[in-house]
Amino acid sequence: MQPESIIHAEHLTKSIHSNGLDVSILCDISFTVPQSSLFAITGPSGSGKTTLLNMLTGIDRPTSGKIFFANTEIRGKSEDALSRWRGKHVGVVFQFFQLIPTLTAKENILLALELGKSGAFPRRSWSQRADELLELTGIAEQKNKLPSQMSGGQQQRTAIARALANDPPLLVADEPTGNLDSHAAESIFALFQQLQLRGKTIIYVTHDHALAQRSNYMLRLLDGAIAEATEPAMEGANEQ
């Protein structure tokens, strides 16, 4: 039986008008992201990974094609509805963390709860919710530190805790380990695996082939088209 899908993309294309020419950035991309999976999007620089990710979150719109989130098409929504929808359903993690530099780790998470307005957590529970997320992501001891007082790995954990604030089912991450040393990158990946065990779906972009290989599903782009789509064996199944 097929697992339920959280994202389903059908014949996505993206072209832009540049210097009087139509330039194709993505070409006929179709795929399904099963719920509670680790899904990697990989490919060389300029292959269209970020463009594709931005379409899955509704930050950017496809030129043609359809995207379904849990069986509902997201294309028809207004900008306002789309932004409310994103706030509730998708947590976004960036390569350069993008934390507010004047706020502590905990305050960065509290701000996301404040901005989320999803009603998932009443105001009186925000402090406790933030503490739980700091614990879950392994940075409880850093909670009163500013981003500049934390390592890259700790900052990325804070950014992940912030993305999880309103308990979205889907996390998307664009090169989340691209700015980290290999040890910190490994521990961020381990955190993703831990979140997956809790039922989250994680779509991550990486040009690191080894990291992409450790997903449950992988999509490799080349020049805006799907070069390879695989379902690597589940954890442990390919050990000899």
Ligand X SMILES: Nc1ncnc2c1ncn2[C@@H]1O[C@H](COP(=O)(O)OP(=O)(O)O)[C@@H](O)[C@H]1O
In the numeric block, the tokens 């064996």 are attached to 233
With CB under 6 A as the contact rule, the residue among 1, 2, 17, 18 that binds ligand X is: 18
DSSP summary character for residue 229: E
- Three-state secondary-structure class, residue 213: helix
**Residue 96 engages ligand X in binding (rule: CB under 6 A):** no
Q: Which of residues 127-146 bind ligand X (CB under 6 A)?
A: none
**Residue 177 engages Mg ion in binding (rule: CB under 5 A):** no
Q: Both tokens of residue 90?
A: 């998708």
Q: Return the number of the residue (49 or 200) whose C-beta is nearest ligand X.
A: 49
Whose CA is closest to 168, among 225, 93, 68?
A: 93
**Residue 238 engages ligand X in binding (rule: CB under 6 A):** no
Binding mask 23-52 for Mg ion (x = CB under 5 A): --------------------------xx--
**Residue 156 engages ligand X in binding (rule: CB under 6 A):** no
Cβ atoms of residues 1 and 32 within 8 Å: no
Cα dihedral sign, 216-10-227-45: negative
**Residue 206 engages Mg ion in binding (rule: CB under 5 A):** no
Q: Which of residues 176-205 bind ligand X (CB under 6 A)?
A: none
Facing residues of 202 across strands?
A: 38, 171
Number of residues that bind ligand X (CB under 6 A): 11
What is the CB-side half-sphere exposure of residue 192 using CA atoms within 13 A?
29
**Residue 25 engages ligand X in binding (rule: CB under 6 A):** yes
Q: Which of residues 40-79 bind ligand X (CB under 6 A)?
A: 43, 45-51
Least spacing, CB of residue 46 vs ligand X, in Å: 4
**Residue 16 engages ligand X in binding (rule: CB under 6 A):** yes
The C-alpha atoms of residue 76 and residue 78 are separated, in whole angstroms, by: 7
Cα dihedral sign, 86-82-120-147: positive
Site residues (vs Mg ion, CB under 5 A): 49-50
Site residues (vs ligand X, CB under 6 A): 16, 18, 25, 43, 45-51
